[in-house]
Amino acid sequence: MRVVMIGPPGAGKGTQGALIAEHFDIPRIVVGDLLRDHVARRTDLGRVADGYLGRGELVPDELMLCIVRQALMAARAAGGGYVFDGVPRAMAQARAAYAIAAELGMTANAAGHLRADDNELTRRLPGRAALEHRTDDTEAVIRHRLELYQKATQPIIAWYAQRGILVSVDAMRQAGEVGREIRTALELLPAPTGPVIVRRPVDLSGLGAGCAS
Ligand code: AMP
């Protein structure tokens, strides 16, 4: 199973991605967490990414695609499955990431789309800021991230639909209910093609190293 999660900030990509990863026993790559970890550790990548995260802007594609390549190679070595949370965020990034995945025989066979409206999200996100100590869940940055989602990220959904991999669910319900609906839909999809599958432990801790140089 190879899944990319897509949805506005606060729709539950993290929660649902984790449920999918556990159910299908596949690694979960959370790009936002990875970037925040680099920022906290003051790595070269973290120093470059810091300002973008604080403003709610997209980190440049060059860096993101370097991380995507490393993550896909790690996932391939670990058995071929993955859940990607946070990539892609814009059409050009989606096409470039697809090209890398195609080269590695690792294109997604499902896109898990979480639908939620802005009112619900602006209600949920400040609570998350308090819980997770995220600096980008302030009101002004939240508004900007939602706008960026509408403008840059949302167009990718139609592309997934054309590719026949879109699984779209109403995310404004209990997490367990949303999770059951996605899982059922994913189980009905054709399995991904390509060489597979011996499960090996996956070490994602080094991801991003060297990407900023
Ligand atoms: P997230 O935790 O997924 O909401 O991501 C937090 C922040 O990390 C975003 O607001 C961006 O600054 C950055 N980020 C995450 N994923 C990407 C991506 N695919 N492309 C560019 N920037 C990203």
**Which of 174, 35, 178 is closest to 112 using CA atoms?**
178
pLDDT at 195 over 70: no
pLDDT at 28: 96
pTM: 0.91
pLDDT at 151 over 60: yes
pLDDT at 192 over 70: no
pLDDT at 22: 95
pLDDT at 198: 55
Tokens of 195: 């060489």
- As a whole number, mean pLDDT of residues 143-171 equals 95
Q: What is the CA radius of gyration of the chain?
A: 16
Q: In angstroms, what is the span from residue 20 Cα to ligand 1's centroid? A: 20
How high does pLDDT run on average in the chain?
91
pLDDT at 120 over 60: yes
Is any ligand 1 atom within 6 A of the Cβ of residue 31?
Answer: yes
pLDDT at 100: 97
pLDDT at 154 over 90: yes
Nearest protein Cα to ligand 1, atom 11: 58
pLDDT at 108 over 60: yes
Is any ligand 1 atom within 6 A of the Cβ of residue 20?
Answer: no
pLDDT at 199: 65
pLDDT at 26: 94
**Which of 54, 75, 61, 65 is closest to 208 using CA atoms?**
65
Is any ligand 1 atom within 6 A of the Cβ of residue 89?
Answer: yes
Query: Which residues sit opposite 30 in a β-bridge?
Result: 85
Inter-CA distances, 11 with 17, 47, 104, 160, Å: 11, 28, 30, 18
pLDDT at 147: 94
Is any ligand 1 atom within 6 A of the Cβ of residue 50?
Answer: no
- Residue 121: band (very low, low, confident or very high) from pLDDT cuts 50, 70, 90: confident
- Residue 71: band (very low, low, confident or very high) from pLDDT cuts 50, 70, 90: very high
Nearest protein Cα to ligand 1, atom 19: 87
Tokens of 147: 């706008």
Please report the sign of the dihedral spanned by the C-alpha atoms of residue 18, residue 206, residue 89, residue 118: positive
Tokens of 197: 């599958």
